[in-house]
């Protein structure tokens, strides 16, 4: 996908939205970032849970340059392998985490996250931490 430089995890977008530690790093990445539709669902879910109005949020993110990418069957088939790799490394990942990582693997782009546990995963994808 042209112009994309990284896949952004929901944790990074939420840190940016709520101006939590590391949000400035994400601010510089939104313009060239991709967000899986699975992780978009997580952003909307958690934002609403925190009392943030979500009407128009997706459009606002897109206006800043963040591109929503459909989660495809190709990525879905990567999820079990990612989950197994994480378990071998003593890590447990949520389904949304696996989906984000699968998107990064599929698009061959670094993945931006706040989750330090991802650093030790051996998935052939570059992990960029925001904090």
Is 86 within 8 Å of 100 (Cβ atoms)?
no
Coil, strand or helix: which one is 67?
A: strand
Residue 117 has pLDDT above 60, yes or no: yes
Is 10 within 8 Å of 100 (Cβ atoms)?
yes
Entry field: residues in the chain: 131
Is 8 within 8 Å of 66 (Cβ atoms)?
yes
Q: Of the CATH numbers 3.90.870.10, 3.40.50.1010, 2.70.180.20, 3.40.50.10470, which one belongs to the domain with range 6-129?
A: 3.40.50.1010
The per-residue pLDDT for range 44-53, each reduced to its tens digit, is 999 999 999 9
The per-residue pLDDT for range 1-33, each reduced to its tens digit, is 568 999 999 999 999 999 999 999 999 899 999
- Residue 116: the pLDDT is 87
Task: Tell me the whole-structure pTM to 2 decimals.
Answer: 0.93
Sheet containing 6-8, strands listed edge to edge, beginning at the edge strand earlier in sequence: 67-69, 33-36, 6-8, 111-113, 127-129
What average pLDDT is seen over the chain?
94
Residue with more model confidence, 36 or 121: 36
Q: 116-124 long-range contacts, Cβ below 8 Å, gap at least 24?
A: 117/91, 117/93, 120/89, 120/91, 121/82, 121/85, 121/86, 121/89, 121/91, 122/85, 122/89, 123/82, 123/85
- Residue 122: the pLDDT is 83
- Residue 124: the pLDDT is 86
- Residue 13: the pLDDT is 97
């Amino acid at each position: 996908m042209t112009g994309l430089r990284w896949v952004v995890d929901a944790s990074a977008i939420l840190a940016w939205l709520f101006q939590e530690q590391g949000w400035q790093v994400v601010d510089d990445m939104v313009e060239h970032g991709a967000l899986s539709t699975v992780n978009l669902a997580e952003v909307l879910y958690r934002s609403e849970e925190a009392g943030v109005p979500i009407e128009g949020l997706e459009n606002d993110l897109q206006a800043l340059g963040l591109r929503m990418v459909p989660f495809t069957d190709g990525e879905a088939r990567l999820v079990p392998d990612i989950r197994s790799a994480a378990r071998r490394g003593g890590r447990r990942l949520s389904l949304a985490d696996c989906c984000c990582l699968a998107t990064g693997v599929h698009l061959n782009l670094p993945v931006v996250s706040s989750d330090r546990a991802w650093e030790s995963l051996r998935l052939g994808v570059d992990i960029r931490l925001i904090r």
